[in-house]
Every structure is written in C-alpha cells, then in structure tokens.
Structure 1
Amino acid sequence: MGKIVVSENVSLDGVIEVAAEDDGSRFGGWFDWMADEDRKAWAEAGFEEAMNAEALLMGRLSYEWFVARGWQSRTGAWADRLRSLPKHVMSSTLRNPGWDNSTVLKGDLVDEVSALKRDVDGDIVVYASGRLVQALLEHDLVDELRLTVYPFVLGAGRRLFGETSAKKPMRLVEARTVGAGLPFLVYRSVRVP
C-alpha cells in the first residue's frame, strides 16, 4: 500500500508560493535567500527523499515548473532518479507530458489517488502542488507531511493550509535541523474513527 507524502518548503507563516526575485512581488525569490550551507544540506535531504520514493504525484502547474526548468534533461544523480520515477500528474488539461515515465490522471481526485495508493508500494511524494495538497488534505488522503521551514515571515502569498471542512489531526514524528538553520518537521496523519 502506498503512502502519500507531502514535501513542502514553507516560510514561518506557511507561505509556499515561491515567485521569482524579478517578478515584481514583494517577496519574490525567498527560496533563494538560504545560506550556501543550508542549500547544500537541503539538496542532500531532497536527494535522499527521492531515493526513498517509489513515485511522484504533482499538480499540473508544479509538473510544468519542473519541465520548464529542464529536469527531464538535467544530468546528475538527483535528476536521474526523478527521471526514472513514475510521475503522476493530476490535471484535466495536460495532454502530452514531456517527461519520461509520466502519466496524467484526469479522473476524480479521490478515486485516482486511492487507486494510486493501492497500486504503489511505498512513498508517493508530492512536491509543491499547493492546490493539489489542499485537496488531498481535505479528502484525508495525506499520510505524512514533511515541512522544511524557512526563517522568515512573508505576510503574503499562497499558503500551504487553507480552510478545511473538519480538523485534520497530525502527530509530530520527527524534528531535526537541515544545514545550519532549517527546521525539518515530519507529521503523520492521525486517522480518527
């Protein structure tokens, strides 16, 4: 049975939207504000996560972000691993995915993700994909949240958590520091009968 693992970079106030530095927004490029030591440690943690994944699940915008930045043709162990992983994209509009081992899931979110969880044995990692993550949380499909927290309050931007129809209990199962100062927090969903 597969496990949906959401892996997000978030500001202290929960912002996940990372606009480019030159896009005109107040806080564009905040992901790039980390120190070199933190960036190296973050990359090592990301590579380790990819090595332990059995599949990726993404929304269309995040999938297109990866493709636009050339992940399908990059070199190196991390890019090779992402290329080799099965990639599942929730989208009603994506027609021709441009990355090896990619499948577009066009049906009902709950049905598609539930089937994916039955078919994959291991971690199904969700990178970025804010709207998808909120829908997965709403439908109690997230098994684990992995949050790398960046030490700034942005005050604006799309946040990881939106309104939900009910509380979503989580249990902290790991807390450590990545690099010199990035908290890495792992929460597991607590299923309420």
Structure 2
Amino acid sequence: MRKLIAGMKISVDGKIEGPEGYADWVEAWSDDYGLMQHVDACLLGANMYPGYEQFWTTIQNEPDKPLWIDGRLPTPDEVEYARFAAQTPHYVLSSTLTSALWPRTSFLRRLEEIAALKQQPGKDIYLVGGARTTASLIDAGLVDELRLIVYPLIVGEGKALFATTKGRRVLELRSAQQLQGGRASLIYGIG
C-alpha cells in the first residue's frame, strides 16, 4: 500500500503562517523533505490548491523572473520542483472546486477516495497541505508519515498546523537532522 506523507514547514511554536497570512520566514518552497524521488502523486486541500497551482505555474513559465509573492528569483530547487509538479498527478480534496489549469489534476470528494488512492499501485503520495486538510486526514487515520522542517523562530500569532486536530496522536520519531540556519528536519511515523 502507498503511504500518504505530509510535508510542512513550521515555526518552533507550530505555526505554518504568521499573522499576515503567509510564512515570511521560509526562504524557498522547493521540496526539501526528500520526497520527489519517492512520490508520484500530490494531494492538496481546496483552499491551498489555487495559490499552489498559480505559484508553480509562474515558476515553470518564467523561471528567470522575480516571483510575484516576494520579488525574489526562484531558486534552482524551486525550478526543479515546478517541473516535477507539472508532470505529477495532483489530487484536490474539495466539495466545491471543479476545474483546474493543470490537466493532470483530479478532484476527490470524500475521504474514502483518498483511502482508495492509497490502495492503487504506485509510489507514495505527497500531502502538500494545507493545515486543515492535513489535520483532518491525520484525524481520519490516512496520514502515515509527517515530515517537518522546523524553523528556529517563535511566531506567536498565526495559523497553527494542528489547530483543528481532534484528539491526541502519538508519533514515532524516525529521523532528526540539523539543517543550515538552525533549522531541523524531523520525520515522524503516525500510528
């Protein structure tokens, strides 16, 4: 069975966004969870997908132009991820969205469809987010692994990754690695 692996960038206090509505502490949005070679599909929630699609399409179409979000040039890893995203099937959990610019995008309406997707042959599935989707899929017992990049920062106000998670979950630490700039990579199994 395929694993559903969530990857998120968070502050030490568990925030994925600051009070302005974005994670201004993240320097690049490329895959630094080590997932690209291990996955062949991506899953996102309805709130996150439109901005995700726009961001990666912009980098794919204009890799040498500053990004509209923050005015910086895309990193080489972001350009590589944009190519990966363009070729990889994406699934969006949504009861309302019905269309996407990317031709390899499908819409899932129920959690049972995610369970069925995990039963299909293939590599693992990258759960890109957002926070509410990740929390609901953890609550449903569908997420097998959580990969976090923790930034050495206390944000205070902002959106917490697990704000909507119901109940307690015990995680199994599988890997911990120190990264540049005081960041840490943590990989947890979810039982």
Q: Same fold (TM over 0.5)?
A: yes
2:66 corresponding residue in structure 1? none
Shift of 1:124: 0.6
| Aligned residues of 1:72 and 1:83 also touching (Cα < 8 A) | no
Q: How big is each residue's C-alpha offset from its partner over 1:151-182, in whole Å with a ceiling of 9 and x where there is no partner?
A: 11111111111354432111000011232321
CA distance in 2, matches of 1:180, 1:78: 22
| Aligned residues of 2:5 and 2:143 also touching (Cα < 8 A) | yes
CA distance in 2, matches of 1:116, 1:29: 30
> Which letter does structure 2 place at the counterpart of 1:92?
S
Q: 1:51 aligns with which of 31, 37, 40?
A: 37
Q: How big is each residue's C-alpha offset from its partner over 1:37-75, in whole Å with a ceiling of 9 and x where there is no partner?
A: xx5xx74625x4223212100001211111222437615
| Aligned residues of 2:43 and 2:129 also touching (Cα < 8 A) | no
CA distance in 2, matches of 1:29, 1:188: 25
Residue aligned with 2:35, SS: helix
2:25 corresponding residue in structure 1? 31
Q: Which runs of 5+ in 2 are unaligned?
A: 64-78
Aligned pairs for 1:4-153 (under 5 A) are 4-17=4-17, 25=20, 29-32=23-26, 34=27, 39=28, 43=30, 45-46=32-33, 48-71=34-57, 74=60, 76-106=79-109, 108-109=110-111, 111-153=112-154
Q: Which runs of 4+ in 1 moved over 3 A?
A: 163-166
Q: How big is each residue's C-alpha offset from its partner over 1:118-163, in whole Å with a ceiling of 9 and x where there is no partner?
A: 1143221111311100100111111000000111111111111135
| Aligned residues of 2:139 and 2:165 also touching (Cα < 8 A) | yes
| Aligned residues of 1:171 and 1:188 also touching (Cα < 8 A) | yes
Shift of 1:15: 0.6
| Aligned residues of 2:16 and 2:22 also touching (Cα < 8 A) | no
1:176 corresponding residue in structure 2? 177
Q: Which runs of 5+ in 1 are unaligned?
A: 20-24
Structure 1 length as normaliser, TM-score? 0.80
1:156 corresponding residue in structure 2? 157
Q: Which of the pair is proportionally richer in helix? A: 1
Identical-pair percentage: 29
State the number of aligned residues.
174
Q: Which moved more, 1:166-175 or 1:141-150?
A: 166-175
2:71 corresponding residue in structure 1? none
CA distance in 1, matches of 2:121, 2:131: 22
| Aligned residues of 1:11 and 1:151 also touching (Cα < 8 A) | yes
Structure 2 length as normaliser, TM-score? 0.81
Pair 44,141 (structure 1): closer, same or farther in 2 beyond 3 Å: closer
Pair 70,82 (structure 1): closer, same or farther in 2 beyond 3 Å: closer
Q: Which moved more, 1:59-68 or 1:138-147?
A: 59-68
- Pairwise CA RMSD: 2.3
1:22 corresponding residue in structure 2? none
| Aligned residues of 1:177 and 1:184 also touching (Cα < 8 A) | yes
Residue aligned with 2:49, SS: helix
